[in-house]
Amino acid sequence: MFYDRTLSSRLMLGTAQYPSPQILRDAIAASGADVITVSLRREGQEGGDFRRILKDSGCRILPNTAGCHSVREAVTTAHMARELFGTDWIKLEVIGHADTLQPDPFALVEAARILSEDGFQVFPYTTEDLIVGEKLIEAGCRVLMPWGAPIGSGQGLRHLDALRSMRAHFPDIPLVIDAGIGAPSQAMMAMEMGFDAVLLNTAVAKAVDPVGMARAFGQAVVAGQLAHQAGLMPPRDMAVASTPIFGLAALA
């Protein structure tokens, strides 16, 4: 549940970089996603045709502040997005490092506080840092979106121990892995670890077959969630025979 809204899919899909509008439309449908993200700047560039694809998808739109590098820029973009899309949801990005696209934690917290006070329901793109997470919650966020790896890198979950610690530290806060996912197996691993959803874009948009990859990610997220709910067996240091030796016949 995200801000009191229950979704039927735990996959959130980005809408940038697709080869054609029709492939974007088909990929959204194949993924089964309930939520699609869109950059205000891209929407403004592509106009009516792109907006129709978003509307026809039937998905909830999560606008984002991609490309913003300051509090003022992110807050202004969020207000424009709310006016354009008619939603209080906003994926908040405030980039602090040009090469890694790592979020600026100080500006992120400040922008999150301003937007929360303005009535936004903020989805902050952050790192796996626990203190930053605490500050974002204090600022009014009810969802955290830690990165798996740098945006568009496809490296998957780089810091597994830190992500596990974050999941354990915030047991009642929805956590969404955002950025860096490159393969369905990586998305499934995130869900097996107990994360609530996965947000990705490049791994689908840049695939040889984006529609097929979108379908693969949709199924991987479902499989990972089912595995988490069923309870994964813990790893063991030594082998344990699956066939019991008690009760077997003793052969002379």
Does pLDDT of 227 surpass 90? yes
Q: Which CATH class is domain 11-230?
A: alpha beta
- In tens, the pLDDT along 91-126 reads 999 999 888 889 999 999 999 999 999 999 999 999
d(C-alpha 1, C-alpha 102), whole Å: 26
Both tokens of residue 85?
A: 């899309």
Q: Find the mean pLDDT for residues 172-198.
A: 96
The predicted structure's pLDDT at residue 239: 87
**Location of structure tokens 């008690």:** 246
Please tell me whether 133 is known to bind a ligand.
no
Q: How open is the CA angle 2-69-166, to the nearest 5 degrees? A: 40
Does pLDDT of 243 surpass 80? no
Among all residues, which ones are annotated catalytic? 91
Please tell me whether 87 is known to bind a ligand.
no
The predicted structure's pLDDT at residue 155: 94
| Sheet of 121-126, strand order | 145-146, 121-126, 89-92, 60-64, 35-39, 11-14, 197-200, 176-178
The predicted structure's pLDDT at residue 242: 78
This prediction has a pTM of 0.89
DSSP string computed for the chain: -BTTB--S-SEEEE-SS-S-HHHHHHHHHHHT-SEEEEEHHHHHHHHHHHHHHHHHTTPEEEEE-TT--SHHHHHHHHHHHHHHH--SEEEE--B--TTT--B-HHHHHHHHHHHHHTT-EEEEEE-S-HHHHHHHHHTT-S-BEE-SSSTT-----S-HHHHHHHHHH-TTS-BEEES---SHHHHHHHHHTT-SEEEESHHHHTSSSHHHHHHHHHHHHHHHHHHHHH-PPPP-SS---SS--TT-----
Please tell me whether 86 is known to bind a ligand.
no
Please tell me whether 179 is known to bind a ligand.
yes
122 φψ region: left (φ > 0), alpha (ψ -120 to 50), beta (else): beta
The predicted structure's pLDDT at residue 99: 84
Please tell me whether 96 is known to bind a ligand.
no
The predicted structure's pLDDT at residue 237: 87
